[in-house]
Amino acid sequence: MNLRQLEAFRATIRCGSITGAAEMMHVSQPSVSRLIADLERSVGFALFQRNGRGLIPTVEARTFYQAVEGMFVGVDRLQDLADSIRTTSGGVVSVGTIQSISTIELPRAVNSLIQRYPDIRVMIHARNTPAILDAVQLHQFDLGVVGRQPPYDGVETLFQTAAPYVCLMPEDHPLVGLAGPVDLEILAEQEDFVTFGGAFPDAMMSMDSSLSQRLQSRSRLSSTNMPVAAALVRETGVLAIADPFSAEQAVRMGGVAFRPILQNLTYYVSIVCGGRARLSRQAAEFSEILAEQLDQRVKLANSFSSGS
């Protein structure tokens, strides 16, 4: 026997006729008759006796029906549970994020999520990449938005992309408004730069070592994060090498602008989790929303860099 046969049997009992059962199941009358006949062969006894134009359940059928009805009550409860899970707007999504994504792209994604789920709660933790990766591995965060070049050990990568670094400068700098990328080889001989902890991020180590040394030699200012670096650019007139996300944040704060860089310096961003199977539906959707936004933002950054 199978579930469809039992469904036809249950519908026929309830309606008292093959015609009514067919209407309830949205199938033809011959289909219901065939299902009932197949079920009778399977159980080994008759289920109905004809009485004029109707059907009367046999004694055996009435006993059998009690068990079938109990089974369908369980199925109905499962459907109710599934409906509840599907339509719930509650729950919590926790996200660890690097600073460059925390003030523009991430809030946009959060807004999209809370519009879909009015009762959802979202917890944002701004940390550096190693701390985020550790927390995701320990399942302290549902999702992590991290930098540095993949792969990342101990986590599953849901999305990854890369964008070119840009040169951040005061908005009244002579280079602002000129066409094309700036050449760091030339700027290294003319301009002072903000470094990060006295050097440049590991993700920028594709930079020629001699160029890196020359830029560092002209640096009297150092910062451990981009907002501070941008403030130094704004107030002191020095330049900085910035990822495009942080550069956009800095421009919105005012007083600075950015230009594309001739050298190929790549900034990596990825969305990771402790395992796709552990994600709630809301967390998975949030990852998809943010990934789409980052993808669009990187396309703009690449377009800006290429001058198209």
What's the CATH class of domain 3-87?
mainly alpha
pLDDT at residue number 209: 83
Whether a cis peptide bond, with omega within 30° of 0, leads into 130 is no
- Contact in structure between 267 and 147 (CB atoms under 8 Å): yes
- Architecture of domain 92-163+268-306 in CATH? 3-Layer(aba) Sandwich (3.40)
Closest CA to 21 of 44, 47, 1, 60: 47
pLDDT at residue number 144: 96
pLDDT at residue number 85: 57
pLDDT at residue number 305: 65
What residue type is 192 in one-letter code?
D
Report the 10 Å Cβ neighbour count for 54. Answer: 14
pLDDT at residue number 91: 80
Q: What is the pTM of this model?
A: 0.69
pLDDT at residue number 177: 83
Taking the alpha carbons of 84, 87, 91, 97 in that order, is the dihedral positive or negative? positive
Alpha-carbon span 245 to 165, nearest angstrom? 9
DSSP state of 199: B
pLDDT at residue number 88: 57
pLDDT at residue number 199: 65
Where are the chain's structural domains?
3-87, 92-163+268-306, 166-264
DSSP state of 36: H
pLDDT at residue number 49: 87
Strand order in the sheet with 239-242: 221-223, 193-196, 239-242, 166-170, 256-260
What residues contact residue 220 under an 8 Å CB cut-off, 6+ apart? 192
Closest CA to 279 of 98, 96, 93: 93
pLDDT at residue number 210: 86
- Is 3.20.20.140 the CATH classification of the domain at 166-264? no
Residue 192 in 3-state DSSP?
coil
**List of the chain residues with pLDDT < 50:** 203
Q: Which residues pair with 222 in a beta bridge?
A: 195
pLDDT at residue number 81: 58
Q: Which residues pair with 269 in a beta bridge?
A: 161
Same fold, 3-87 and 92-163+268-306: no
pLDDT at residue number 303: 79
Give tens-digit pLDDT for 143-202: 999 988 878 889 999 999 999 999 999 999 999 988 889 999 999 899 999 887 666 655
